[in-house]
Chain A
Amino acid sequence: MRIRAEELSKTYDRKHRALDSLSIDINMNGIFSVIGRNGAGKTTFVRIMSTELLPTSGRGYINEMDVVDQADAVRQDIAVVPQEARPLPWLTPLQTVSSYLMWRGYSYREANEKGKDALRELGLEGKENEKSRKLSGGQKRKLMAATVISSEAHIVFLDEPTTGLDYLSRKELWQLLSRMKKDRLIILTTHYLEEAEILGDQIMILDHGKLVDLGTIDNLRNKVKLPYVLKVNAENFKLEDDEVQIHPVSEKETFVYGSASKIYGLIPYLVTNKMKFTVEEASLSNIFEQYLGSGEDDENEEEDR
């Protein structure tokens, strides 16, 4: 499965640039994690590639079919759970899944059978005939995931499917996604970076609509200047050094990002001062923070881009 974007851009209301000349080419089966801060353009990317939203300029391709000009063909092979999709409260979970499958062209009987299987796989059996409004928030998210997972689509977009799921439910969904990814491409946006890291065969970091980096977790780690992290457990740890990045986590814990030699060079000092510490390879969250954490928080920044 292949998704490709060429200089893909989206400007909302003629001024708000949500996606900025994004060019990528992903040709694989597996999970493609898309991460970035709130407003980075993840949903905009998903909605354009899934033929829900027109780009302002540039092109997108799903299996080499243009998402604008060949939308009908693209739609035969994709399925999407939008970020804000919710089950209709007057339907039961089984009705929710099976009606979606019928919209995909399954017969009523097939849709019901597949629907039951999907609900069972996500641990929603027993709830299948209650009204959806009685489900908890996380159960509703699971139900939405179940609808598209049960379909035959080879390219599946899941926009923050695990937000609000408890840890065990998330793991259930991870296992399901891992099982179904063999012959599919799953585009997954998430704010849980460990999830993006564990599941993502390829990971894309977006910021202000621009591509920050794209690759496997090892690729990303090799590209950052500071691929190691030293986690120091000490009160108000301070260090003056231009070659490392220091990110206080709390008063008692500080992360220091640096190169291997730099980090190992610090160890004698820590030992002498009897500080507790661990050294690890940078995780995706560490990489994310290195890329995006140093900049000012521009939640309130007005658009002058």
Chain B
Amino acid sequence: MMKMKRKIGSQIMASILVNSIYAMINYPVVLINTLLAPLAILAVVTFASKGTLLPVAAVGALIMNMVSSGTSLQQDLSHLKNDMRLQDMIVSSPTSSFIYIIGMAISEIVYSIPTLAFLIILNIIFVKITFLGAFILFLDMATIFTFSISLGFFLSTFTSDIIQSWGFSGILSPLLTTIPPVYYPINYIPYPFRYLAYLSPTTYASEIAQSQTGYYALSASGFATAWLVLIAITAVLTYLALKRSRWREI
């Protein structure tokens, strides 16, 4: 049998086209979809703090956007899998789960480009940060994005219907973005609740971000610890997504 030369770029592109570009072309209203939630909280926090927390909330909205990519990935994939049986067709095709995740992860970024652009402009205007700080912020966002995409993919492979998938995202979103100190500085939380906040990986991402924007003083060891924990959690989830997700049904 002749072996066909397969292009990994095409396999990745297929996910991007299907999950974001074709959807955006066919239903342009989705372009503002991802903007509403971060913007709403951003507005509330900004007004309630008389503007003082706007820079924190602007960075927080970016973090939320990264986490939302994961929760919406979870919903998208659950839908494609359970309602359309698309995952069965992909599983039995030459596209591996890894290539599928990569393509779908990029599709979520593409999908939220309008939101990202808006938030980045907002950050450039209102957040004072050094060049190095901006770079750290970028790594921070990339890590929390990897975390949430892995989590979203992992969960999606276990869902068997849409109600279950709504359940997951309904829980995750507040637990990871609204309640933890993403939109406000962590030292606003009194003890012992502050310990609870450390259960969420977004708290560490937020600590790192706020330490760069000057809203939270973090010692060198605290900074290192935050990174360590964030990377460890992300590594565990990436491992789970790649090795322990239910790509093939049992």
Contact = CB atoms under 8 A, between A and B. Distances in A.
Interface of A: 47, 50-54, 71-72, 75-88, 90-91, 95, 99-100, 102-108, 111, 131, 147-148, 152, 154, 157
Nearest to A78: B92
Interface in B23-55: 23, 26-27
Contacts of B232: none
B29 to A, nearest CB: 12
A106 B7 contact: yes
Interface stretch (B13-21, B157-165, B174-182, B204-212): B13-21
B10 A105 contact: yes
B93 A108 contact: no
A104 B88 contact: no
B94 A105 contact: yes
A77 B94 CA distance: 8
B90 interface: yes
Nearest to A110: B10
A95 B15 CA distance: 12
Contacts of B13: 102, 108
B11 A79 contact: no
Contacts of A147: 89
A131 B1 contact: no
Given A52-B91, A108-B10, A86 B85 contact: yes
Interface residues of B, number: 35
A15 to B, nearest CB: 15
What 8 A-B pairs come out closest when comparing CB atoms? A105-B6, A102-B14, A85-B85, A102-B10, A82-B85, A50-B92, A80-B92, A82-B88
A303 B94 CA distance: 37
Contacts of B14: 99-100, 102-103
A90 B84 CA distance: 12
A53 B249 contact: yes
B92 A86 contact: no
Given A77-B1, A90-B26, A104 B248 contact: no
A52 B18 CA distance: 21
A127 B83 CA distance: 23
Contacts of A78: 92
A102 B103 CA distance: 12
B17 A95 contact: yes
B88 A52 contact: yes
A87 B85 CA distance: 9
B80 interface: yes
A154 B88 contact: no
B22 A152 contact: no
B80 A52 contact: no
A187 to B, nearest CB: 12
Contacts of B125: none
B11 A72 contact: no
A104 B86 contact: no
Interface string B213-226: 00000000000000
B17 A106 contact: no
B96 interface: yes
Contacts of B7: 105-107
Contact of A90 (B27, B83, B95): B27
Nearest to A1: B1
A152 B7 CA distance: 14
Given A103-B95, A105-B4, A105-B7, A80 B249 contact: no
A157 B85 CA distance: 14
A86 B26 contact: no
Given A102-B13, A102-B17, A88 B80 contact: yes
B132 interface: no
B171 interface: no
14 contacts: A47-B88, A47-B249, A53-B249, A54-B248, A71-B248, A72-B96, A86-B84, A88-B80, A88-B84, A95-B17, A99-B22, A105-B11, A107-B10, A152-B4
B26 A131 contact: yes
A85 B89 contact: yes
Given A88-B84, A152-B4, A104 B249 contact: no
A53 B6 CA distance: 24
B18 A91 contact: yes
Given A100-B89, A103-B90, A85 B84 contact: yes
B117 interface: no
Contact of A51 (B17, B83, B84, B92): B92
A51 B3 CA distance: 20
Nearest to B82: A84
Nearest to B21: A95
Contacts of B85: 82-86
Nearest to B13: A102
Given A86-B84, A99-B14, A51 B248 contact: yes
Contacts of A76: 3-4, 94
Contact of A111 (B10, B94, B248): B10
Contacts of A52: 88, 91-92, 248-249
A112 to B, nearest CB: 11
